[in-house]
Structure 1
Amino acid sequence: MQNRIKPEFLSFGAEVRRLRKAAGLNQQRLADLVNVTRSYITQIEAGRTRCRRDMALRLDRALKAGTTLVEAWDELLESIKSDKYPKHFASYPKAEQSAIMVRAYEERLVPGLLQKEAYARVLLRDEDAVENRMRRQEILYRNPPPVVSIIMDETVLYREVGGPEVMKEQLEYLYELSLSGKVQLQVAPIRYIRNVWGSFHVATRPDHKQVAYAIKAWGGETTTDPDEIAVANETFVILQSEALNVRETRLLIRKVIDERWT
């Protein structure tokens, strides 16, 4: 079913869900506010229907979201007419929300998708940023969940963020996630690996097109350029070949917890 849903609809639905949760509303309460059934809100959020423009306006009013959803609706319609992706879909976090596969390499920190709240609070400056980061992790519990493959540099396990207690909780969580099978987690040993120059993420959407995000000194850069995506994919394959396998990674995480953070 999900493979037949347009990625633009999934992106729009993810934005409705994000705004609804930020407003502290459940689906039934939002449905009551805009005078529709709960099942209709469920269909919109799941990307199974394209609501009318006036519904996007009503949702904006109910969620006190300004013109966020009506602008997204206009871009969605234009993208369907022109067979182009809407601008908001080029945002990596939004692509991630509707992705069927997420891959990432992190050389300094635990990826945001896997961070515990205490770890995230050390890195982020305000409450909204923390809440948004925690909300991203809902995709791990989606049905069906995306395939998530994460490679971290070994130094991430030793780099102290927030103190020993925070690190112990964070690494225990990584260990549990690895056991659960929700994430294929690998560690790249501390050594030079060809073509690896920094952290990056790649989200594969239901139509199998991809969005990549590279972390740079002055922020991040999102791309959908096929040549740049190809470099990211090739680099990830190289990293997988050099990294410890999932079982070895799990053993290393347990060792670091016991020897350094306990």
Structure 2
Amino acid sequence: MITDVEAATPALCRLQLGSELRQLRAATGLTSRQVVRKLLWSPSKLTRLETGENASVEPSDIMALCQIYEAGEEISELLKGYAAVTKTKRDWWQSPEYRPVIRPGFKAFLGLEATAAALHNYESEYVPGLLQTAEYVRVIHRRAHQGMSDGDIDRMVAVRMNRQDVLHRTSPLKLTAIISEAVLMRQVGGPKVMRSQLAHIAELAEAPNVRVQVVPFKAGHHTGMNGAFMLLKFRDQVGLRPIVYFENLIDSWVTRRQADVERFEDGVADLQALAPGPQESLSMIMKAMKEL
């Protein structure tokens, strides 16, 4: 549970609020359908509240739920406080400057990433987003979004750079980045951009909260060959189970199904066991820099 509500981010308040609401409803034995019937809400409204997907939350909605759940005065005031934060503050990605270039599914992911305690990311084609340089990002977006204005490309680059703040905050995200050797070989933007990018990875890998491993070609087939993914894990106080995030050129989505998540947890363990450790992986990165 958040102890300092006023200092908390809106994203964290939304997720904490959702967790508390789910627990309160479970304690009463009420189903989602029963609750929305009582309040004359759409089912999706309660779902969004319980999963923390709303950009802001109306305190009056929280009070209505607390009455149905017969929540005590202390917990009711706390939840109202969470809602108030979402009304008075904005996460950086809610800024009008970035809104035009952030898809709804990706916006939801940004909230999850900003509050996650750990992220395991496997990439086979390009450098993981949290390790990318601005030049590398720009090249990728220009190719993927041909015809997009320079201004929107600049906004997309800024979004990627702002995301990386999670690695440097007071309680930094623990990042495990597992990449295919192909990522080191692919000359995105040419030798100069790639040398700078690989040097950036090597520098970040020195941080205690960042672990980088490279799966070499000689390792043969492996579980990551089916595609890139991100596995996010959260602090106990948030009350969220791990989730897996995927994206492509036109869409992004998550899965929370426990069986699916467990398969990807096994996949991460397999990849980490297959890939050389951080020091040997760093040697591979330095070798690729020299060859450029």
160, 164, 175: which one aligns with 2:202: 175
Query: Structure 1 residues 5, 108: CA separation in 2 closer, same or farther (over 3 Å shift)?
Result: same
182, 202, 206: which one aligns with 2:235: 206
Which structure 1 segments of 5+ residues have no match? 17-47, 67-86
Q: Deviations over 1:3-47 (max 9, x none)?
A: x439x996624699xxxxxxxxxxxxxxxxxxxxxxxxxxxxxxx
Cross-structure match for 1:131:
158
Bigger radius of gyration, 1 or 2? 2
Which structure 2 segments of 5+ residues have no match? 15-77, 97-103, 146-152
Q: Deviations over 1:45-100 (max 9, x none)?
A: xxx9964756654557xx9969xxxxxxxxxxxxxxxxxxxx98993221111111
Q: State the one-letter code of the partner of 2:10.
A: F
Which stretch has the larger CA shift, 224-233 or 48-57?
48-57
RMSD, matched Cα: 3.3
Query: Structure 1 residues 58, 97: CA separation in 2 closer, same or farther (over 3 Å shift)?
Result: closer
State the alpha-carbon separation in 2 of the partners of residues 227 and 183 from structure 1.
27
Contact 2:13 2:82 in 1 (8 A): no
State the alpha-carbon separation in 2 of the partners of residues 168 and 57 from structure 1.
44
State the 4+ residue runs in structure 1 displaced beyond 4 angstroms: 8-11, 13-16, 52-60, 63-66, 87-90
Q: State the one-letter code of the partner of 2:184.
A: L
State the alpha-carbon separation in 1 of the partners of residues 282 and 129 from structure 2.
19
Q: State the one-letter code of the partner of 2:231.
A: V
Cross-structure match for 1:152:
179
Contact 1:139 1:145 in 2 (8 A): yes
State the alpha-carbon separation in 2 of the partners of residues 218 and 88 from structure 1.
10
TM-score by length of 1: 0.67
* Alignment pair present for 1:117 and 2:134: yes
* Alignment pair present for 1:253 and 2:282: no
State the alpha-carbon separation in 2 of the partners of residues 12 and 252 from structure 1.
40
Residue aligned with 2:206, SS: helix
Identity across the alignment (%): 27
Residue aligned with 1:95, SS: helix
185, 192, 197: which one aligns with 2:221: 192
Cross-structure match for 2:117:
100
Show the 5 A alignment for 1:1-262. Answer: 4-5=1-2, 12-13=10-11, 51=81, 56-57=86-87, 59=89, 91-124=108-141, 125=145, 126-190=153-217, 191-194=220-223, 196-207=225-236, 209-216=241-248, 219-259=251-291, 261=292
Contact 2:245 2:254 in 1 (8 A): yes
State the alpha-carbon separation in 1 of the partners of residues 187 and 163 from structure 2.
23
TM-score by length of 2: 0.61
Q: Deviations over 1:225-245 (max 9, x none)?
A: 111111111111110111111
- Corresponding pairs, count: 203
Query: Structure 1 residues 201, 140: CA separation in 2 closer, same or farther (over 3 Å shift)?
Result: same
State the alpha-carbon separation in 1 of the partners of residues 79 and 110 from structure 2.
22
Cross-structure match for 2:52:
none
Task: Give the Å deviation of 1:220.
Answer: 3.0
